[in-house]
Each structure stands twice: as C-alpha cells, then as structure tokens.
Structure 1
C-alpha cells in the first residue's frame, strides 16, 4: 500500500516527542526545518538534544497522558515498545496523529526522506518498505535539481498574488503563470521585468 503525500503546515504546531536518543534527535532536526513547536519528554536526553534547549522545550520525566493536551502530532521514539504502543493508543483515542518509530502498523503518518530548498519541499517515501531506497531516491532528485529553481519559485510566488488580483479569468491566470515559468526556466531562473509586464498586459487589455 502506498501512502498519500499530504503536505501540512506545521509551523508553530505543537509536537510532542517521547524519547531522548539518537532517533528522537533525527526527528527533531527534520521538524526544526519546518518550525514546529517541539517538546521532548524523556527521563534522559542526549547531549545533542540538550544543546537544542531554547529552540525546543525539554521536559525531563516519564511518559504521561497530560502532555498530549493540545498536541497536533506526536512521535513515540522511546526504547520501550510497550510505552510506544501505549502512546499510540492514547493518541488514537484522542484523534491525535502519531508516528511510532520502527512500528509501521502503529503509524498514522510517515517521515519522508526530504529535500527543502526555500519554498520547495520534496518528500520521498517507500511506504516504510525501504528507507534506504527512499534516501537514495532523495539524493538522486537533489543532485539533479537545479539551484535556480529556488529563486524562480520565490519570484513566481511574488507575481502570483498580483496576477490573481488583476486577472479575473482562472484559465488566463494559469496561462500567465505557465508563460512566466517558461520564461524563467529558459533564462536560468531569472525573469526580466519588462518580459513579465508584457506577458501580464496581454491578458489585462
């Protein structure tokens, strides 16, 4: 079974991570890229996690259900499978999305191998079948992704709102953005202001 690739805004969303070891640290590193509000709960945390104090919240202690209040999603990364299973059950009872490390059947969502360049996010998953292959595919894509794409996406995003506000037809707006993307791709990610105005003006007459 393949997993549908939802892309969700997790900026400032409350994430609880149970566990303070290497696995938890890898999850934290990924989530910090997307500005989640992270709280780590564990009896002991690694030096790497402790060094993140200030960027994340750290609560030294055992698992307790009260910390689940208002959580947007949860990661169970303890070294105790029984506790991880309990966390998963309690999350599901509360309809909170949960990821249980190395327990695919207990996961509501998976962590992809991902690429993030500015506003570009690309996630790769093998639906838990082969994380090694997911990493290989991610590297293949990353190695072939032109550096110019990041700047072009930002530029197109800047024009998108202007086009939306000044061109009433949805199909014409789509045509404009396609033409601007084509121009940018043909010019190493850059858009000439005059060319942009010429494209837009054709639909504003």
Structure 2
C-alpha cells in the first residue's frame, strides 16, 4: 500500500543540497531547476560534469563546490538529494541528515529515503506528480509521457477561466466551493 503523502514544495524558499556531480546529479539538478528555476541549490562533488557547470552559468542560484562531501555542507540546508556512485558516501550523507533532522533522498535506495522525487507532468500551471512508491521510476516516467501526450495544451486557458470565475464569486468558502464543483462537473 502506498502511504506516501504528496506535497508540492516552494523550492525557491529552500536551500537544497545535491551531493553528486555525475549523471544522477545532473538528472536531479535538471529536474529541480526545470520545475523551480529560482531554487537555491548547492551541488557538491569532487568531479562535476560539464553539463552541470553549464547549468550553473544559466542559473545564478546554483552554486557548485568542487570537493568531496563533508558534514559541514549540511549547514543551513533544508533538503538533501544524494546521487553518488559510492554507497558509503550515500549512507554517510543519509546518516548525517538524520542526525540533523534534514529530509533526504538517496537515489535508487528507497530504504534510505525520507521522500521520493516524482515524475512530473506540466501543462501551464497544472502539475501532476506521479509516484510508484519507489518501486519503478521507469514506469512513472513512461506514464508521464502518456499523460503529456493526451492532456491538451488548452488546459491553461481552462485554469485561467476558472480562476476568473472563482475571483468573481460571492459568498463564503462553502458557497464558492459548491459553485466551482458544479461548474467543473463536466470534467468527469
């Protein structure tokens, strides 16, 4: 049973640490900055791929530290994503995060994760996060591709229209919700 509680975080209000500068680090920093271009991200690794260095030139809030992970890198961090090819480093970062009560995701190691990164469908302001409870990120990716293909690009116009309607409604919260529920019944 999937007992995960889905949330969307305002990454631009957090300081996120990514440990690992290889392919997985590139994947994680790309996903993060694609969804939250103003996120404050520090990436630490003894070697950093050229593509990550290019991203840092485009994103001034992406700081690169070219050195091995140290517990001091956790200072003032709110969230940590780990993606090195060294399992002992991954376990050490996870243990350090636990001792400081910092939420951590260790790529490809569900047992060490406090949260999972989802596959995301984005159509304008609509975002749909897909999780397989850590069982198959590949399935989540494929399902995302299916949803991206079938969801119309005109969804943004629908969202904008519903926002305009909501802003014009009179009454208390319950009355507004009842009216919006009635209007959106056609989406069933």
Same fold (TM over 0.5): yes
* TM-score bracket for the superposition, by shorter chain length: 0.7 to 0.9
Alignment check: 8 A CA contact 1:119 1:154 kept: no
1:107-149 Cα shifts (integer Å, max 9, x gaps): 0111111112222111111111112211121122221112111
Deviation at 1:182, TM superposition (A): 6.1
Alignment check: 8 A CA contact 1:76 1:98 kept: yes
Q: Which residue of 2 aligns with 1:69?
A: 75
Question: Against the structure 1 CA distance between its residues 154 and 28, is the aligned structure 2 distance closer, same or farther, given a 3 Å change threshold?
Answer: farther
Cα distance between partner residues in 2 of 1:101 and 1:126:
14
- What is the TM-score of this pair, normalised by structure 2? 0.87
Q: Which residue of 2 aligns with 1:100?
A: 106
Cα distance between partner residues in 1 of 2:167 and 2:11:
23
Structure 1 runs (4+) greater than 6 angstroms displaced: none
Q: Which residue of 1 aligns with 2:41?
A: 38
Q: Does 1:86 align with 2:88?
A: no
SS of equivalent residue, structure 1 residue 99: strand
After the TM superposition, which of the residue ranges 63-72 and 97-106 deviates more from structure 2?
Answer: 63-72
Deviation at 1:53, TM superposition (A): 1.7
Q: Which runs of 5+ in 1 are unaligned?
A: 186-205
Which of 95, 98, 111 is the matching residue for 2:117? 111
Structure having the higher Rg: 1
Q: Does 1:157 align with 2:157?
A: no
Q: Which residue of 1 aligns with 2:9?
A: 8
- What is the TM-score of this pair, normalised by structure 1? 0.81
SS of equivalent residue, structure 2 residue 142: helix
Q: How many residues align?
A: 181
Q: Which runs of 5+ in 2 are unaligned?
A: none
